[in-house]
Structure formats: structure tokens, C-alpha cells
């Protein structure tokens, strides 16, 4: 068997494992118009990238769901990867949380469309007889004798101990409510929700910001925040490689260069 065929066979096996019927239908739909594109999807996306083991398969699918929700122009592929996330062990609540979180980074329309895609996928899978774990869908709980702002500030400080002060100082003369809403909505209402751990919240945020390609300073912040709470440099590097498939090489290259800059800055400071 040639190396080319080995890549194809490996990719086809990974496609069947992850996306099952949904992925195979996408490839079949391309064969009549561009069989080369179908081949490259199997060889590169699923033979080269998905075959790498440095990032867990469940994490890969969650970050892809985040990226496709955020860019907002790939609804059929988003549905395929929602199927994929559920196929590889994510529960419905975890996928819901990723999509909900994108409201803060890509806006409510993207989150609404993502949630409707999830609703459709779950209904289809139920009709097919698949039994997906629901998970525990819960809102954040504000501790007694605390406020949304205090809870959000506490969560944000876990990512970076200086960021609350940075936000307050940056916006105090132009829009103090901007800092308030970022902290309350982003880090009290959303990040406090228990159905998704902080590590995956940061990984999915990094993926979304990389795919969108319009918020480099925020991407660098979340790369450093991810490193602060236990996401490894290797895992972030793998997210960037994965984004080459879903957002293109320019986005993946820029994201990787942001990772390099953050790592170098940390090294110089430490």
C-alpha cells in the first residue's frame, strides 16, 4: 500500500469513527462535482490532522464546534461536527455550553443559529434511535452575599490576576459599563456555568478567536489565560493545526504566531 493510500485509509477510518453517516454523506455529495476535494478532506483533515494524538478527540470536536459556530457561515459542517462531538463522548450539555459561550465572542445571532443546529441534530439522532447523554444543564449560581460582578471578577482573576483592573482602567473614561458587562455576562453568567470545565472553556475560546481572525489581542489574552489554568502549549499548538482545516492556513498561522509571542513573553518575564 502506498503512503498516499495509507493516508486515505487512515482518514476514512477516522471519518467513520468521528462523524459516521453525517461525514460520509458530505464526502459522497462532493464526489460528483469535485472528487479531489473529497480526497483532500479525507487525507489531510482526517488522515493527517485528526490522526494526531496530542489533543483528545473529545476536545477536538468541542473546539471545532466552537469555531464553526463563531464563523457562522458553515451550518452543514457545524451539524456534522455536533454529530461528531456526541459520537466521541460529549454529552448534550457540553455541546450546548460551547455554543452558548460563543454568544460572548461571536454574538447572539451566531449562538442562536448554533443552538438551532444542535436542536436539529439531537432530534435527528433521537429519531435514529441514538441515546445521547443529556448531561446537567444548569445556570450559574451567585454565592450568597455576593454579586454577579464579584463572581465574574473572581473567575476572570483565575485567568489573569490583573485583568479586572485592566478592563476597569481601559474603559473608565469611555464606557465603564463595557467592563461591567464583560465581567458580569462573560465571566459570571457564562464561565460560572458548571456543565463545562474552565479548561475546555478556554480551549474553545482560543479556537473561536483563531477562526474569526479579528481579535488578536483577545486571542493572546486567552492563550495566556489557557496556559495559566492548565491548557498545555502542545494542546494550543494542536488547536491551531486543527483550525487550518476549518478556518484556513492564514488563520492557523496567525494563531500559531500569537502562541509563539505569548510563550516568548512568558519566558522573558519568568
List, for residues 158-182, the tens digit of each pLDDT value. 999 999 999 999 999 999 999 999 9
What is the Cα–Cα distance from 229 to 202, expressed in whole angstroms?
9
Q: Which pLDDT does position 2 carry in this prediction?
A: 55
pTM more than 0.85: yes
pLDDT of residue 28: 84
| pLDDT for the residue 142 | 86
Q: pLDDT under 50 in the chain at which residues?
A: 1
pLDDT tens readout for residues 127-151: 999 999 999 888 888 888 899 999 9
Q: What is the pLDDT of residue 1?
A: 45
- What is residue 3's predicted lDDT score, i.e. its pLDDT? 59
Amino acid at each position: 500500500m502506498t503512503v498516499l493510500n495509507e493516508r486515505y485509509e487512515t482518514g476514512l477510518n477516522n471519518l467513520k469513527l468521528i462523524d459516521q453517516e453525517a461525514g460520509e454523506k458530505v464526502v459522497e455529495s462532493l464526489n460528483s462535482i469535485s472528487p479531489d476535494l473529497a480526497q483532500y478532506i479525507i487525507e489531510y483533515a482526517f488522515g493527517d490532522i485528526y490522526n494526531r494524538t496530542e489533543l483528545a478527540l473529545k476536545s477536538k470536536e468541542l473546539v471545532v464546534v466552537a469555531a464553526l459556530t463563531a464563523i457562522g457561515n458553515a451550518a452543514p459542517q457545524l451539524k456534522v461536527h455536533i454529530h461528531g462531538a456526541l459520537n466521541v463522548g460529549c454529552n448534550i450539555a457540553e455541546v450546548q455550553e460551547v455554543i452558548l459561550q460563543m454568544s460572548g465572542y461571536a454574538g447572539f445571532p451566531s449562538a442562536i443559529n448554533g443552538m438551532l443546529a444542535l436542536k436539529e441534530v439531537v432530534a435527528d439522532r433521537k429519531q435514529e434511535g441514538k441515546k445521547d447523554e443529556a448531561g446537567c444543564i444548569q445556570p450559574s449560581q451567585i454565592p450568597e452575599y455576593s454579586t454577579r460582578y464579584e463572581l465574574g471578577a473572581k473567575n476572570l482573576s483565575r485567568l489573569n490576576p490583573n485583568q479586572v483592573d485592566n478592563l476597569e482602567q481601559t474603559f473608565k473614561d469611555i464606557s465603564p459599563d463595557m467592563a461591567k458587562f464583560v465581567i458580569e455576562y462573560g465571566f459570571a453568567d457564562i464561565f460560572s456555568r458548571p456543565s463545562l470545565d474552565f479548561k475546555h472553556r478556554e480551549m474553545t475560546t482560543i479556537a473561536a478567536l483563531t477562526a474569526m481572525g479579528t481579535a488578536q489581542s483577545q486571542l493572546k489574552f486567552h492563550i495566556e489565560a489557557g496556559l495559566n489554568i492548565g491548557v498545555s502549549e502542545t494542546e494550543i499548538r494542536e488547536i491551531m493545526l486543527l483550525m487550518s482545516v476549518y478556518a484556513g492556513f492564514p488563520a492557523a498561522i496567525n494563531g500559531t504566531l500569537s502562541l509563539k509571542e505569548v510563550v516568548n513573553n512568558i519566558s522573558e518575564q519568568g
